Amino acid sequence: MERNRACPCPVFEKRGSGILMHVTSLPSPYGIGDLGPEAYNFVDFLVRARQRYWQVLPLIQANYRGEYSPYNCMSAFADNKYLISPDMLLRTGLLKKSELGRAPGFPRRRVNFGKAIRFKEGIFRIAHERFGRTGHTSESYMRFCAENSVWLDDFALFTVLNDQDPVHTWLAWPAAVRRRDRRILQSLRNALRKDIERERFLQYIFFSQWQALRNYCNERHVGVIGDLPIYVDHNSADVWSHPELFKLDRGLRPLYLSGVPPDYFSRDGQLWGNPVYDWREMRRTGFRWWRQRFASAMELYDYVRLDHFRGFVAYWQVRAGARTARRGKWVKAPAADLLTMLRRQSRRLPLIAEDLGTITPDVREVMARFGLPGMKVLLFAFGDGDPDNPYLPHNHVENCVVYTGTHDNNTVRGWYEEEATDAEKHRLHAYLGRRVSTRRVHEEFVRLAMSSVAETVIIPMQDILGLGGRARMNRPATTTRNWQWRLMHGSITPSVIGWLRSMTESYGRCG
């Protein structure tokens, strides 16, 4: 098949491979992975194993009420302050060693979000107090605040008000605040100035630490692939700040909720519960909000995976109040107009379309028009005996990204041990030409991915290590015990590095 020469995404200029692992999964003595020393160690591992990409899950500030999903956006622009590294705050003089010595004991194998958040909120207050003596007038801080004022000011105020009432959403605020009376908002900004400044400071610190880490990646020829959730939470700074961009009723409650119909993951579909966009209003404003969001994402990443790309072409909306996503309808969205505007703004679209599930011809047409690579997941390859199954390696194309699995799948070993039927195992063995053991099945999947004609391969870290189902990151349509897996110290051994490096070299993915 001839290569799509119109593809604007540099990720496909030559063969390469990388690792999918979220920042929260890194080792750290503070209960949750962060942007500190272990992140740099992970980049060093990628370099030694000759990997070209590090893919992360969304870095945005999640709405940590109940579920700790990184796709549960409290803001489409703000970043997750809980990924700030205390060690880096120590290095820059914003914390003292004695203050970090007060950290409680944390579990090593799982993220304890609640405990980690409580600890970090305490040290953030200390760091901000110290920063306030000199840093608020620094040129870099003032420039950051000015350049991001379009979202930062509202986000900081929203966060402070939201924290004052951790039980209710902004719909419970006084009417003048809900409806953004300018005089009242200015009064609140004056009264809550110190707390608001702390939130602005934390966004600045995250950005500074992340940019240092990203520069470290890029200097070593490692590209960072980010993940852009399609929706934001109703209890978010975006919906409060721009209610006109969402389908809301007169009381500012969602008229419709987002989700997907019944599919591979759930018989009832998935009712995500986010408000859906008013795309007519988005178009009327020249997609200003999306252009700002895309520009913000490109400040963080080299490439971006567009989550649920299907929803940019047509989205599934369910009436508010429904208990499941079964009864909904598809509504068209202006993907082509949006992408045209984004390409006009940046001249390049380094995007990956998450095109899993039932994909219609109109979605394929948009992807082809803009040269967007889709995803091929090997765990979907052996569910039937159809040799035309698009996930089977012999059906791959150059302009796609191959994964063994994603954050929503079981690990390869977990799938083989817990989910694969005898028929699926038989089809896998027939495809490989031999039987494989449970202990080695992850290696065979990695080999299938690496040998694909696809120019880019991304392997979840759990599949590099051959971990079982307990290391799974997420179970769609569930809300407990997700997003908690962590990489253990010492897991990345010289033999793991050597094996991955050899595989990468053998299939010409060193770049």
DSSP string, 156-205: HHHHHHHHH-SSS-GGGS-HHHHTT-HHHHHHHHHHTHHHHHHHHHHHHH
pTM of this structure: 0.95
DSSP string, 293-350: HHHHHHHH-SEEEETTTHHHHEEEEEETT-SSSSS-EEEE--HHHHHHHHHHHHS---
- Catalytic residue, candidates 307, 444, 455, 463: 307
Counting runs of H as helices and runs of E as strands, what totals does the chain give?
20, 12
Distance, in Å, from the CA atom of 503 to the CA atom of 19, rounded to the nearest integer, reads: 14
Distance, in Å, from the CA atom of 453 to the CA atom of 262, rounded to the nearest integer, reads: 32
- Catalytic residue, candidates 34, 154, 354, 424: 354
- The answer for 185, left when phi > 0, alpha when psi is -120 to 50, beta otherwise, is alpha
CB 248 within 8 A of CB 255: yes
Q: What is the pLDDT along the chain (511 residues), one digit of tens a residue?
A: 333 334 444 445 789 999 999 999 999 999 999 999 999 999 999 999 999 999 999 999 988 876 799 999 999 999 999 999 999 999 999 999 999 988 888 998 999 999 999 999 999 999 999 998 876 678 999 999 999 999 999 999 999 999 999 889 999 999 999 999 999 999 999 999 999 999 999 999 999 999 999 999 999 999 999 999 999 999 999 999 999 999 999 999 999 999 999 876 678 888 999 999 999 999 999 999 999 999 999 999 999 999 999 999 999 999 999 999 999 999 999 999 999 999 998 878 999 999 998 899 999 999 999 999 999 999 999 999 899 999 999 999 999 999 999 999 999 999 999 999 999 999 999 999 999 999 999 999 999 999 999 999 999 999 999 999 999 999 987 888 899 999 999 999 999 999 999 999 999 998 6
Ranges of each domain in the chain:
373-473
**Which amino acid type is present at position 339?**
L
- Count of C-beta atoms within a 10 Å radius of residue 151: 21
408 is catalytic: yes
354 is catalytic: yes
CB 355 within 8 A of CB 304: no
Give CA 318 to chain center in angstroms: 24
Give CA 493 to chain center in angstroms: 27
CB 159 within 8 A of CB 63: no
Cα dihedral: 286, 320, 353, 284 (round 10): -10
Q: Tokens 């470290």 — which residue? A: 216
Chain segment 20-76, per-residue pLDDT in tens: 999 999 999 999 999 999 999 999 999 999 999 999 999 999 888 767 999 999 999
2 is catalytic: no
The tokens for 17 are 């491979």
Q: Which among 88, 115, 91 is positioned nearest to 103, based on CA atoms?
A: 115
- Catalytic residue, candidates 87, 263, 408, 417: 408
Q: Which among 412, 424, 444 is positioned nearest to 382, based on CA atoms?
A: 424
